[in-house]
Amino acid sequence: MRDSIKFKTMQKQEKYYECYDASLSLWKVPFEAYYVNTEQGDTHIISCGNENGEPLVLLHAMGCSSTMWYPNIQELSKHFKIYAVDYFGDLNKSIPINFPSQMAQCTTWFKQVLDALHIEKCYLAGLSYGGFLSTQFSLSIPHRIKKLILMNPAGTFAQIYNRFIVRILTLAQFPNRFVVNNFINWLSVEKNAWNKLLVSQFHAGFKYGMMKGKIPPFEISDEDLTKLEVPTLLLLGEGEVICDVQKAYHRASNLVKNIQVELVPSAGHLLSLEKPEYVNQQMIKFFVNH
């Protein structure tokens, strides 16, 4: 299927898709990849795991796509029926009609994805921008979400630093391998945590694709955070560089009623890639045993 919103030519789309498929080869479990239709276009899903398990929906970080869950998927798939969803406003295999401009569009999209997957209520986990979206969905449609795990959610509890925005703009303007590696190393405490195939895919997204994000992640108001009632686990890397992690810790702890907040030592922004064993243990413990 042709994606003319994110890729100017079919050749560029195919080059990116080749890198996406190469990253997906890192998933060491049987999986299905398919599309579900929504008002916003066709959404790409990767599903796997325990057919009798509770549904777990995963929302990825910006620019990374659902392939980024490769270090987590083998352990999580033993316990859950997993649906890794390519957010339609990002660089991945979902094919949008247009980029979203209002959060209401995103919420409608997510509801329609759940409906298409025949999921009445799910566990939900999101990293970075995926964490920001997961928080918004938990505020808007809490009756569809059993429990929530947020990993370094972008914005949300603490405003994003301007230096992060500058680096993203630089990456979009000069998408070469040096700038990509610089950006990834800046985000990370654990260097070389990313598999080379995922690095190549991330690079290809910015090299061949276009991402015109119209909904930047923002700090959620005190009033709205007090309305978050879905049981929540918040994991924050102590080495977080995109926002004030101490502010995020204290706002979450003081404003959200039903939340458990953990500071993860020796970890940067992309927790699931840097500390996969720890993240897997925490997810299983919170969703299954908590």
Q: Which residues of 154-176 are buried (b: 16+ CB within 10 A; e: fewer)?
A: bbbbbebeeebeebbeebeeebe
Residues 229, 267: Cα–Cα separation, whole Å: 27
Distance CA(234)–CA(276), nearest Å, equals 15
Do residues 86 and 66 lie in contact, with contact meaning Cβ atoms separated by under 8 Å? yes
Structure tokens at 145: 């979400």
Beta bridge partners of 234: 150, 261
Q: Is 269 a catalytic residue?
A: yes
CA distance 138 to 16: 32
Look up residue 245 and give its amino acid: V
**∠ CA 130-135-139, rounded to 5°:** 145
Selected catalytic residue, list 118, 250, 269, 290: 269
DSSP annotation of 67? G
β-pair partners for 56:
82, 123
Residues marked active site are found at 269
